[in-house]
Chains A and B, each alone.
Chain A
Amino acid sequence: MSTGKNAADEGLEPAASNQVQIEQICAAFDNDHGRMLDILRAVQDAQRVISQDAILRIAELTGLKPIEVEGVASFYAFLSLTPRGRVTIRLCDDIVDRFAGLAEVQAAFETVLGIKTGETSADGAFSLECTPCIGLCDQAPAAMVNDIVLTSLTPESARLFAARLKDGTRPEDLISDRFDDLTPIERARRMVDNNIRHAGCVLLGDVPQDAGLRAAAAATPAQIIESIERSGLRGCGGAGFATGQKWRFASTAGGHRRFVICNADEGEPGTFKDRVLLTERPRLTIEGMTIAARAVGAREGILYLRGEYVYLRELLEDVLADRRVRGLLGSNILGVDGFDFDVRLQIGAGAYICGAEGALISSCEGLPGEPKTRPPFPTTHGYLGCPTVVNNVETFCHAARIMDGGAKWFFDMGIAGSHGTKLFSVSGDCLNPGVYEWPYGMSIRDMLVAVGGEDAAAVLVGGPSGAMIARDMFHRKLTFDDLSTGGAIVIFSGDRNVLEIVEYYMSFFVHESCGYCTPCRVGNVFLQKAVAKFRAGKANPADIDYMRDLSQTIVETSRCGLGMTSPNPILSTLDNFPLVYSAMVKAPEDRLRATFDIQSAISDARHLAKRRSYIFDKDFGA
């Protein structure tokens, strides 16, 4: 905190000291409601809750209505309107973690801490929660403990960690006894293995420091954009928009103030390549942002780091500070007159939707992470209404390398329409989960051989918003025009239950829908319930058409990419694994709907009336 004395030192009553603390936090962000996410994150960290009193005071200080503050606080999963423990343990609940033994790890934490998942201990010491993919699928099961992460958990290690926490050990000390003496990069590497399995020549091989930036500083903005356009670089976050074109749009948009935003909110379940880049290539990432800033004439940048990657915060802040000292950020970068650019770090708070460009901008503005209406597009009306370039971490890294290696060098890698290399996050049932850098164009079959996943029965390409493909399609290629992906590859062996996977992913989309539009908010709940019927063996043949039909409405009427792709787990498995569904349906034998279960229908009434059945109420007499 930049102002004021520590409230605790003044011996104030807790309520009064909380209020002083809130004033200090708000003051540190200039009482700016545009920094609401930072303010609420800081209050949550300090007080473990966003209380009603806190909401009123924050609203007063920032000039908002309390309902607006509550709207933000209630949107993000890592902010809480009810008290959370001083140590909050968030178990990664991705399907990969479940298959890697999450249940036993979860049971170990519950037993030792004496609380169930979703509960906070009576003394306020611990909360235990589940959270969707935290980007550590290559070392599942994983968990966040406050701002640190634990990986490759086993029931034994979980019991040990929980016992040490219970004895009062700080979460940091679970990582190393000398945690405080470690540098940020040492801490990050101690917590997380980056599992770089194959380094290509663009990103993960040898990268000369700031060579791209030097080339860009010597070039005109128009020349930079032309290079990026000629390289064939397309966005690596999943949508694949031509990067050079995006930069050109922003550079020609009207207005004085422009922004460059780095989207480090990779939330697609199964993707973690940006985690690796942010740890191993943070300078290259900032270098790429700086080049983009020169190309479009931006002086301000934001690196939006997903809340799950908060363990990388100090590493990134160190890199930013170091670059300022070395004249690579700030005024007159590399001595070029008028080349001014700086970057601030924005930490998210648990919302997959913020990976969508418009929602990410909303989040940076201190709003709930709801996508913005398009058009207008961010290149003309982005952050604070100004022209804004938003690119993925990997895209910025590529851009920096292109400025050094040349557009032709990059263009000549890969295949027509998909140029250069791509990072793939590979996890699930394979021998060597991790990150692979390959030129575009590799077939799924070759990929499986390379990662030790030849036993795969199903491969999820592009995460749940991508496609689940079966063995008869393993000849297909990883390109924008065939199997397009932001890089998530999840491999499932024949032992896995496809319907379990699909149901999990639908529950993920229900959890992550922002709720702005009807089809995504409501339709996905219905889809999840429909898949659950199949799993329970209560579906009838008409339910297959029902799911397709409902999916089509969601795809065609949703407001943003989340809703447009959320039925993909169902649609791609209906297409590619039809037997999985048909095996689970049964035609009604009488005129009753197979879905109707008389016992569950009258169960509530029977309990209320205390009239119970010896046959159907298993707990009768208990």
Chain B
Amino acid sequence: MSGLRFEIDGVEIAARDGQTIMEAADAAGVYIPRLCDHEGLRHQGGCRVCTVKCNGRSVAACTEPAPPDAVVENETPHINKMRRDLVEMLFHEGNHLCPICEASGNCELQAMAYRLDMTDPTRFPYLEPCRPVDASHPDIALDTNRCISCGRCIRASQDIDGKGIFGYVGRGIHRHVAVNGPDLAHTDATIDDVAVSADVCPVGCIIRKRVGFSRPIGERDSDHGLIGSNAKAKADD
């Protein structure tokens, strides 16, 4: 298989045939912001935070095949502004109260807001949903008020754990992640599932019981720099 080349913000990127823009960028150490995408899971293209301009056309970098000889724009003011809008939408769609959330400091939604400079008061109305908390399982709790519908748990459970514990139900603004049973305790979920591991849920929706707040402020993920700032180091590994 022959390779191809394209450029992202002036940096030339080599890609293998069949790679997506994001895969090629990751391999080259160029970070493209994303929320619903996660290493090791199939791409979804749902959050749209990885939107880039490929020869001027908007595409999701996680699903778009790497384009031969194309010019891809990634971190332009215009694109980052749209990404900030998308992150704000997610904040306003659910109930994201960072100061009282166990995931604060380890939360990709929060980290993305910092990266995208979401520092002004937001303009959108809060939808303030009232979603139930499922604490039925002995080791895992779900607070779907903080869910951003990224579906990472769904894909991890289906494709890695082979269990299908989670799934989407409903349509439109009512579409949400639900469990395969009356509650989580009545599913096959166990604390060892990849789907409920700390990395898979980007926010504070899937909560591992009895380990909350164990990492002090100063030692949490976002305390070491902006999300994505280690992209180069990861690529060099």
Contact = CB atoms under 8 A, between A and B. Distances in A.
A70 B178 contact: yes
A448 B169 CA distance: 44
A375 B180 contact: no
Interface string A474-513: 0000000000000000000000000000000000001111
Interface string A356-377: 0000000000001000010100
B65 interface: yes
B86 interface: yes
B173 A522 contact: yes
B5 interface: no
A556 B175 contact: no
Interface string B31-65: 00000000000010111110100000010100101
Given A67-B164, A70-B169, A529-B125, A553 B175 contact: no
Contact count band on B: 35 or more
Contacts of A519: 48, 85-86, 89
A511 B173 CA distance: 8
A518 B170 contact: no
A517 B48 contact: yes
A351 interface: yes
Contacts of B206: none
A403 to B, nearest CB: 35
Contacts of A375: 65
A521 B65 contact: no
Interface string A68-105: 10110011110000000000000000000000000000
Interface string B164-185: 1011111111110011110000
A550 B81 CA distance: 11
Nearest to A514: B171
| Residue of A67, A75, A373 with highest tally of chain B CB at under 10 A | A67
Contact of A518 (B47, B166, B167): B47
B173 to A, nearest CB: 5
A71 B220 CA distance: 36
Contact of B85 (A74, A513, A517, A553): A553
A522 B89 CA distance: 6
| Residue of B85, B86, B125 with highest tally of chain A CB at under 10 A | B85
A526 B89 contact: yes
A515 B60 CA distance: 16
B92 interface: yes
B86 A518 contact: yes
Contact of A368 (B93, B124, B168): B168
Contact of B48 (A66, A351, A525, A558): A558
Contact of A515 (B47, B81, B170): B170
Nearest to B35: A518
B93 A522 contact: yes
A65 B166 CA distance: 10
Contact of A510 (B48, B63, B124, B172): B172
Contacts of B180: 65-67
A513 B172 CA distance: 5
A217 B175 CA distance: 47
B127 interface: yes
B172 A517 contact: no
Interface of A: 65-68, 70-71, 74-77, 351, 368, 373, 375, 510-519, 521-523, 525-526, 529, 546, 550, 552-553, 556-559
Interface of B: 43, 45-49, 51, 58, 60, 63, 65, 81-82, 85-86, 89-90, 92-93, 123-125, 127, 149, 164, 166-175, 178-181
Given A518-B89, A518-B149, 14 more contacts: A65-B164, A66-B180, A70-B178, A76-B171, A77-B171, A368-B171, A511-B172, A515-B168, A515-B171, A515-B172, A526-B124, A553-B81, A556-B51, A557-B82
8 contacts: A68-B167, A71-B168, A373-B43, A525-B127, A526-B92, A550-B85, A553-B85, A559-B45
In the A-B complex, the 8 residue pairs with the smallest Cβ-Cβ separation, listed nearest first, are A515-B175, A67-B167, A67-B180, A522-B89, A553-B85, A513-B172, A65-B164, A74-B169
